[in-house]
Structure 1
């Protein structure tokens, strides 16, 4: 009996291996370069469980801007070069945009409708920090969730401990974890969904049940709340950056006082008059990347890109973390320098928002909500951060000496630290 089982397993293994080899021999162009994988299992051994963007960057140094991996016949492409990412996901977006869409479900006829909500929520946010500065992270979560709830449903969140904000934040935490670039093995091996719950290594089944319970409670809450997560994380990254770069913070505060007058809060109409504030927040977005790997895309049809064959169904993962540290794109990329976006005596460097908020025209233009070229999430982050700069000095805690926070990002499609 055991012998029969062994021969059956060996036969299946051999047939699968033969099928995969024949499929590769019939390709119209070579696959992108990548590490050699095991038969059947492919490159499962190179997929890390933590801080995947660092491993992706390492693979990029070995194999180039496009890296091909395969796990149990499922193709995965890692993009470590921003040009390839833009060419695929923006220029050829029809073939590379097979993923959930995160669009505003509400529709507004006037820009002022968005501005009014944003300004009101920002003032509540600043007042909350002024009252309880030690809990600024909770205020940031309420601010981010409050904007989306107000715009989408007309719901005004409570200043503290709002149940719907809490529920949505929990749901979005699960969403970020489950759609991350390296989330769960069942996404790579769909057949695992039939494995019984008691089987070793199936903790994801328990998590799936927990997530399903949360999603049942938020059945009427759209995927748009991904923007809440991005706004909140972006503001947290801003606070982190300001504790580490106080000289740049002071320069921005001087500009705010000179342009607006001491004690006045900025509005979106002031944005074009505050170039250093703009450059500072853009550099925060680059240096403290919101989503190191972003949300994966998938290919809808076979394609030839840059001489390489890209099979239908390939999972596309962008390594934004590497994009923002590429010396070909950013001069001295490890240095925090807002001047790179001012164009003083040199050309402006690439704006990271192109990659943070998506690719192509639709990612930058929400014409009924904000001025052309301004993403709603970007507008919310800018107004909140500029208002904080106008109202507070941000410093790290001191215990006899200055204590700098040590940023260590955790995994997810939208990253926190």
Structure 2
């Protein structure tokens, strides 16, 4: 009798379960955590929504390092910055791998992008490409003109359609990333490539969520045929893979066509294509460049920037006193006859603190991206098994009462040292990742957000909506994605004066 695909899937499941039963006991004391069930482990303890809340509870109960398992897979949760730095930064040679994510990585194809590339030569080569494009202060300074020009355009768009501020933020972030990466200037308003990037990143946010797709816990399910009952997730993976491939290939092809015509604008991709090493396989280099470029949005630069700027508008709606204080500083340092520029950053200390507080208060990536241990390790007396998935509770860290006073309140002053107290911990210590997997676009995101914060506060008064004579104070509610965005909220956005409008409408 011929062996069917279903037989093969059942055989794979049986072998996988046998491996769980026969796996060796740990050779050391595991970190504390919830009590596991036989064979199943903590599969019912691992949260599927708002994981950071559950992990914060574990931190209070078990300490900065906690442990759980699910169907033989080990999970280590880190709940404070010091522990994360000691493990992921100082032992980066052990903890710089990524776990194999069956849904997002293997089936959809995100394994080819920098965030999910396994530790090795390809990772090092890709990071080298990106560092060469935006890894130094002088390189970011060379982009300041673009950031300022795109932010001025953003202000004009918001002035014309303030009710669409979230849409304007996405359009501007997409424009910046596409110009820097591909030399592609999106069309005003609707642009097919920007739309494609947004769709791809929305799909990414869905499939990368931990513990949502059973195939991530039971890998043999990847072989389930499309027609099998309940296999709708596999059809989704196939469709999402096509979208991702198109998003990576289309702008790359655009650059090649422009280079052939001699009309290509300077960009990350055009520069890398011009510098290709003749000693290496051209197709392999093109593939690496293609996915390195895709990391500019797939590496969270796009979503992080969007979330941070939208968080500014939310925070200013809730905390009008912060807005007034920042505007007073801008008026004193810059005046009213021009917009703030990067040359003013060193003098705008409170505005700079607002940027830092946006990164902290919003906690844009609640769990960051998972790391994996390459080998067995003993850390702070606990045994960390090889292959453990290391989860960093970034949102919990950024709202830790032991580190930040009154952590749920938006208080930029916390980052300005006084004679009475030192400045609190810079959120950039953890909000962009750790060790060798830290986001290579962190300086790019920081500069883009600073321009948006300083220039938006110079031009706009962001206020609370009044409905039936009742002032609406929105709640600080965020979505439950890997890059978390504020949920839609009511606010008003008006120019501070006619002279402020003139600063952006005169161009």
Give the match for residue 89 of structure 2.
Answer: 90
Give the TM-score taking structure 2 as reference length.
0.74
Aligned partner (choices 107, 116, 133) of residue 107 of structure 1: 133
Q: How does 1:291-330 map to 2 (within 5 A)?
A: 291-330=365-404
SS in 2 for 1:93: coil
1:19 aligns with 2:30: no
Distance in 2 (CA, whole Å) between partners of 1:263 and 1:402 is: 32
1:222 aligns with 2:294: yes
Which structure 2 segments of 5+ residues have no match?
1-10, 99-112, 116-126, 250-292, 488-507
Distance in 2 (CA, whole Å) between partners of 1:37 and 1:111 is: 48
Distance in 2 (CA, whole Å) between partners of 1:360 and 1:262 is: 43
- Cα shift at 1:126: 1.1
SS in 1 for 2:391: strand
Q: What per-residue deviation string (whole Å, max 9, x for no partner) do you get for residues 302-336 of structure 1? A: 11111111111111111111101212111222332
Q: 1:364 to 1:68 in 2, by over 3 A?
A: closer
Q: What per-residue deviation string (whole Å, max 9, x for no partner) do you get for residues 270-321 of structure 1? A: 1111111111221222122111111111111211111111111111111111
- Cα shift at 1:245: 0.4
Give the match for residue 261 of structure 2.
Answer: none
Give the match for residue 122 of structure 1.
Answer: 151
- Cα shift at 1:341: 0.5
Q: 1:13 to 1:143 in 2, by over 3 A?
A: closer
Aligned partner (choices 347, 350, 353) of residue 425 of structure 2: 350
Distance in 2 (CA, whole Å) between partners of 1:13 and 1:391 is: 60
- Cα shift at 1:242: 0.9
Give the match for residue 444 of structure 2.
Answer: 376
Q: How does 1:18-417 map to 2 (within 5 A)?
A: 18-20=21-23, 23-24=24-25, 27-99=26-98, 101-102=114-115, 105=130, 107=133, 110-220=139-249, 222-225=294-297, 226-344=300-418, 345-360=420-435, 363=438, 375-399=443-467, 400-416=469-485, 417=487
Aligned length: 397
- Matched-pair contact (CA < 8 Å) for 1:181–1:295: no
- Computed over aligned residues only, the root mean square deviation of the Cα atoms, in angstroms, reads 2.4
Identify the range of structure 1 (341-350 vs 98-107) with the bigger mean alpha-carbon deviation.
98-107
Which structure 1 segments of 5+ residues have no match?
1-7, 367-373
SS in 2 for 1:326: coil
- Matched-pair contact (CA < 8 Å) for 1:29–1:309: yes
SS in 1 for 2:479: coil
Distance in 2 (CA, whole Å) between partners of 1:14 and 1:141 is: 45
Give the TM-score taking structure 1 as reference length.
0.89
Distance in 2 (CA, whole Å) between partners of 1:330 and 1:272 is: 24
SS in 2 for 1:62: helix
- Cα shift at 1:189: 1.4
- Cα shift at 1:347: 0.6
SS in 1 for 2:433: coil
Distance in 1 (CA, whole Å) between partners of 2:374 and 2:15 is: 29
Distance in 2 (CA, whole Å) between partners of 1:320 and 1:167 is: 29
Identify the range of structure 1 (381-390 vs 205-214) with the bigger mean alpha-carbon deviation.
205-214
SS in 1 for 2:471: coil
Q: 1:13 to 1:111 in 2, by over 3 A?
A: closer
Distance in 2 (CA, whole Å) between partners of 1:127 and 1:115 is: 19
- Matched-pair contact (CA < 8 Å) for 1:79–1:318: yes
- Matched-pair contact (CA < 8 Å) for 2:48–2:210: no
- Cα shift at 1:15: 5.5
Distance in 2 (CA, whole Å) between partners of 1:178 and 1:98 is: 19
Distance in 1 (CA, whole Å) between partners of 2:17 and 2:343 is: 66
- Matched-pair contact (CA < 8 Å) for 1:121–1:143: yes
SS in 2 for 1:304: strand
Distance in 1 (CA, whole Å) between partners of 2:15 and 2:174 is: 51
- Matched-pair contact (CA < 8 Å) for 1:181–1:317: no
Q: What per-residue deviation string (whole Å, max 9, x for no partner) do you get for residues 136-181 of structure 1? A: 1111001111111111111111221111111111111222222234
SS in 1 for 2:378: strand
